[in-house]
Structures are given as structure tokens and as C-alpha cells.
Amino acid sequence: MRGLPWSNPVKYVKNVGPKRASLLSRLSINSVGDLLYHFPREYEDRTQLKPAHAYDSGVRASIRGRVVGAEESKPRKGLTITKLALYDGYGLFYAVWYNQPYIKKQLHEGTWLLLTGKINRFMGQIQLQVLDYELEDGSEALYTGRLVPVYPLTEQLSQRVLRAAVKSALDEWAGGLDDFIPVSLATKYKLPDLGAALQMVHFPQSSEDHRAARRRFVFEELFLQQIIMTMRRNTIVAVKKDHSYKIKSGLEDQFLSSLPFSFTPGQRTAWEEISLDMDAQTPMYRLLQGDVGAGKTVVCVMALLKAVNSGLQAALMAPTEILAEQHYKNISKYFSSLGLETTLLTGGMKKKNRQQALEKIREGKTGVVLGTHALLQQDVEFKNLAMVVIDEQHRFGVKQRAVLQFKGHQPDVLVMTATPIPRTLALTLYGDLAVSTIPDLPPGRIPVKTYFYRHSRMAGVYEKILEQVTMGRQAYIVCPLVEESEKVDLLSAVELASRLSSGELGGCRVDLLHGRMKPEEKETVINRFRDGLIDVLVSTTVVEVGVDVPNATVMVILDAHRFGLAQLHQLRGRVGRGRYASICYLISDARGEDTETRLRAMCQTGNGFLLAEKDLELRGPGELFGTRQSGAVTYRIADPIRDIRALEVARKEARELLLRDPVLGRAEHRSLLEELKNRFDKDLIFINVG
């Protein structure tokens, strides 16, 4: 017996070779294991073999026939038509290939074939435009007369080639694989063994085979993932931190009394949970989630203050310089009134300013450090880092979070997100975190009215912007691209800003913001918009987080179908932040039931949690955040909505197994541990395993 061949290069598989291996790498297929786990996206039912005359013109057909003749013609330059006459037991039909002259030489008279293609009735003949064919020579059929797998492909790689490669890998490997799922679980849940399941998922003999294989791989995927999550969590709670906080913080009380508002019930509950975790002997590892505008930042400030008031350091990392600078502006106001110093560290800083910041951090002269990925650099050294906050944490991977965490001695970690996460996804993405949720919004917030319009109604949208600007308000117009693309027919922010400033919004002060601008240019534009010197800001999604202008009352999102609900909700959250009624326009000419369902859901509710559930249902977990995390969950076959029962079972079984064998050191779990190391190597860096 042997484990899955994750380290065997795919180029050595029969029917692959170096050239095809290069194509497969585009699909992230680099090893034999990757190939075997490249599951079909669907199956074509080619099991119904009927004579040619039984099919109507235009339908896809599967037919068995014997070659009785062949001819070849060249009706014009560059076109060769090969036509074989076949007898199906009832009459003749003709199989047709285009620009494949070798067919006539390979398929001789008397050869029996299984063919699949499109039926055409032409001048009294029944013709089959061939999609797939194979010789009926006693070997297993791969391309017709069965349930045929259809795989995700890349350019220059055909279904036929990929099926042949998968079949070769199965023939060589599937028979002797060591199954890493414990026997007791496979028996309990009636799961086929690994080798059989791989055969059944790629080339099922029946729909029952496919269902059984899918059950096995869904459980396997979720089970392995939940083991990793549980091991990570167990590692965290097994260590003791070497710092503690003052039991009562005068600064915290002073800060709360200075606020012009009181905490909502959700904020109070979240802070109590966080504070309790910080007082524990083991490090906190908690997720704080809440809707746009729920007040997560002010709860985060309480955690920062608790660290600083105890003579310790705290760091807050944000994914963009815009958001980091926004946090710095807001938090430094709070802290300066309390006599505390804050330091900003970003990649765009001048060398002299950066060196001064590094010295303050290293010597402990600053209590709170706010920054971007720049905090992860090797020369950033903390004197006594006790509290780490990571904002918009879905944009960071496991490794990035851990690098910042390792700059302290078992610091407490609070990760925040304004993208509400449904319970099902929280179980899968963040099973190693405790979760605090702020479900309510501060009182007095005026809901943003949202409308879904076609581009034909843009004149009315521009009129609304002009009306709001006349009243002293401001507006955003969000465009997906920065520059024109020949491949994607979308308005670019650059072209749009130029056109509007001299056209539809000629009376307004229009400016541009996009991600390719230098940091100092972005900051200048944002400050001018914040100070009311810009009426209309045309921008890419760089404004999704970190731009807080209460005077802005109109958000226009062009080609809104290009975004997921979570991102649309974040963009909409840039307005409605002040005391004025605000409007969001979703502009799209895209058609399709899913598209309209998503955009109309935005018009029906401002609840981010409800929208996240809908987004997960419509788009799937891999697309919820728009970008794939490093070290995050990826799904080959499982679906956390459809497979919620399997997820719950996998979570339960993973926890029970690790209670019995915390580091998977027992002999019966050796293959399971090896499989985990092969699949989750980067994650296991941060886990104590046997």
C-alpha cells in the first residue's frame, strides 16, 4: 500500500509528458495527486445507444456502428472533410470529421465504433458531426456509451486528452492506495475506500457510483479541514502567554466617558467577550464581525487601550494604505486626548520617517502601531507586543497573520471583518477562532435607499448627483477598471472621470482615485474629498474600505454585476455615514436570473448578514470575498451550504478523534498525518504535530 502521489510529477503519467504537463499546470495540476483530485464538473449521459434513425436533427446522439466505407473531400482551401459510412444494425449513417485527415487511415472497414456527436439530416442522409469516438475493442469505454466526465479545462487542452491522462493515472495508482480515512469512520458512514472512490468519481458506472464517490470526497475534504482547524485551535490554547493586563483600566473609563455616544448592546457584549479572553492565561484568538458601520473600530480601541494602559504594545494591521491611514487618523485622535502616542508604518513612507518609526517601536516609545503589510517586514521589532489586531482579515492569509503574531511573545489576536460571515462559512474558514458578533447598528442611522437601474437611466442618476452637489453633498462613482481593456467592454475610471468633468457633470469638481496611483497621490485625493474640495470622486474599488466621508450621500456602482454582494455592500457602506439620507445606484445591463436576483437582493435589504447568506448561496464560498486567501479553505467538491450536515459531522468526528490522539501519533493515524502534511504543509508550520 502507498499514499497519494502528491510528490510525483504529472509529466511522468502516460499520455501526459512535458508539453501537456505545462498546460496542466495552468489548472494547478502539477502532481499525480493533483490530477486524481481534479474532479469532473459534470457528466454527460451517453449511455443511451440508439440507431441513427431514432434521433431528430440537431440533438446530441450516441451510436454504435461498423465502418463500411470512407471518403474525403476538400471543398475549399484549408478545409478537409472526412466522412465514414457506418452500419448501425438498421441502416447506414455517416460520421463526419473536419480537418482530421488521419481518421480515414486509422479507422478501417469492419471496425466497430462508439460515437457521440450532433445529428444532422442532410439531403436524405443522416450525418453525425463527431464530438467523441472510440474503438469497440473490448477495453473500457471512456468517451461514449457511458457517463462521461466533463472537466474544467484550459486553452489547448481537450476533454479527450484530460480523460486519457486521468485514466492512465488511475490505472497506475488507484489499485494500491492506502486509505487515510480511519476504518471506523469509513465503516460508520459507509464510505467507499480511496481507490474505488477515485475510480467512481472519474468514470462512474452509474449515478449511484457518482453519489457514493461524492459522499466520500465531501466528507474527506471537510474532515481534513476540520482536523487542521481543531489542531490549530488546540495549539493556541495549549500555550501560556507571559503578559497580563491591569485588572482595572483608568484609560478605558476615560475613553468611554469622552465618547459622544453609548455602546450598543452588541458592542458591549463583544467587548466583554474580548476583555474576558484577554484576561485569560492563554492567548486570545477571536474574530470580531459586524455589519458596515456597526462600530467595530471603537471596540478594537478598547482592546488597544487595555494593552497600552498595562505598559505593553499593540499593533493594528490593515490590508491597504488608505485603510491604515484612516485608522491612524481616527485612533490617534482618541489616543492624543489621552496623552498616548501612536505610530504609522506603511510601505509608502519616506526612508527617514520609516527609520524613526522603527526606532520608536523597537524601544517601546510608542504604545500603538498602525500599519499595512509593512509591519511584517523583518526589521520591524517590537519591545513587548501583547495585542495584535488585524482588520479586514479575509485579505490576509494564515501565514501573514502568524508572522505578525510571532513578533510578540504569545500575543492576544483579534481579527476583524466588516464582511459578515454566515455561520456555515465561519465554521469552515474560521473554525480555529472564537467569534464575537455585533448584530446591531448605532441608533439613528438612516438606511441607504438602493436602486437597480439599466445604463439607459444614467441621465436621471446624473441629475440626482447634481441635485445633491447643489445641496452641498458629495458623490462616489465606482468603475471596475482603471484603463480601457480590449478584452473587457467596461468603462474605465480614467476615461469616465475625463468625460464627466466636461460633460454630464461639467458643473462639478470631479476627480479620480485608483489603485495604481502613488500613496501620496491617493492620500491627497482622499483628503481633498474629505475636506469637501471634490464633489464627485470617480474611483475603482480602492474606496471599498477605509474612506469615511459623512458628507457623501450618493454611491453609483457601474457594471454592478461584476461584484459579489459582499463587495457591493461594502461599497454601499461608503455612504449613509452621516446625518443625511443617502442613495446607492446599481447600474448594470447584464441579463440572467442570478444577476438580477443578486442586485435586487441589494435593493431589498441593508442587512449584511442576510446578503452574505444570499451571496454564498448564489456564488459559492470561493468567490464570497472576491480574492482567494493564502492558506485559506479551497473546495474541490464540497459546498458548505448544500453539505452543511456533512460539515457538522466532519467537525464532530475531527474533534473526537483529536481528543483521543491530539497529535495523531498513533500507528493507525500515521497515513492520516502524512496526508495532512502533504495537503496543508503551510498551515502545519504553525501547528505542533507528531
Asked if 250-438 and 449-605 have one fold, the answer is yes
At 439 the three-state DSSP class reads coil
pLDDT in tens, 400-413: 767 777 788 889 99
Contact 534, 474 (CB under 8 A): yes
Residue spans per domain, the chain: 48-145, 250-438, 449-605
What pTM does this model have?
0.67
Query: Which of the four pLDDT bands, split at 50, 70 and 90, describes residue 302?
Result: very high
Percent of all residues in the chain with a pLDDT value above 70, rounded to a whole number: 90
- What is the assigned CATH class of domain 449-605? alpha beta
Query: Which of the four pLDDT bands, split at 50, 70 and 90, describes residue 486?
Result: very low
Percent of all residues in the chain with a pLDDT value above 90, rounded to a whole number: 43
Residue 640 to residues 221, 422, 637: CA-CA distances in angstroms? 11, 10, 10
Mean pLDDT, residues 88-95 taken together: 94
pLDDT in tens, 353-406: 899 999 999 998 898 999 988 888 889 999 999 999 998 765 666 667 677 777
| Per-residue model confidence (pLDDT) at position 629 | 37
What the block records as the C-alpha cell of 314 is 499593540
pLDDT in tens, 214-266: 999 999 999 998 898 888 888 777 788 888 988 766 788 888 888 888 899 99
Q: Would you say residue 95 has pLDDT above 90?
A: yes
Query: Which of the four pLDDT bands, split at 50, 70 and 90, describes residue 690?
Result: very low
Q: What span, in angstroms and rounded, lies between the C-alpha atoms of 336 and 323? A: 20
Q: Would you say residue 686 has pLDDT above 60?
A: no
Higher pLDDT, 247 or 325: 325
Contact 144, 134 (CB under 8 A): yes
Q: Write down the number of H helices and E strands in the chain.
A: 23, 20
Mean pLDDT, residues 486-496 taken together: 62
Query: Which of the four pLDDT bands, split at 50, 70 and 90, describes residue 487?
Result: very low
End-to-end CA distance of the chain: 22
Structural element, H or E, at residue 469: helix 458-470
Mean pLDDT, residues 348-352 taken together: 85
Q: Would you identify the CATH topology of the domain 48-145?
A: OB fold (Dihydrolipoamide Acetyltransferase, E2P) (2.40.50)
Find residue 147's DSSP bridge partners.
Answer: 45
289, 406, 393, 442: which is closest to 629 by C-alpha? 393
Q: What span, in angstroms and rounded, lies between the C-alpha atoms of 574 and 568? A: 10
Q: What span, in angstroms and rounded, lies between the C-alpha atoms of 473 and 12? A: 65
- List the beta strands (DSSP E) in 291-367: 313-317, 342-345
| Per-residue model confidence (pLDDT) at position 544 | 67
Query: Which of the four pLDDT bands, split at 50, 70 and 90, describes residue 543?
Result: confident
Q: Would you identify the CATH topology of the domain 250-438?
A: Rossmann fold (3.40.50)
Alpha helices by DSSP H, 531-662: 565-572, 593-604, 608-619, 644-660
pLDDT in tens, 620-657: 554 443 333 333 456 788 877 678 789 889 989 999 99
Structural element, H or E, at residue 584: strand 583-587
Let me know the angle formed at the C-alpha of 509 by 575 and 454, rounded to the nearest 5 degrees.
55
Please identify which residue in the block is written with the cell numbers 502539477: 30
Over the chain, what is the mean pLDDT?
Answer: 85
| Per-residue model confidence (pLDDT) at position 681 | 65
Q: What span, in angstroms and rounded, lies between the C-alpha atoms of 188 and 184? A: 6
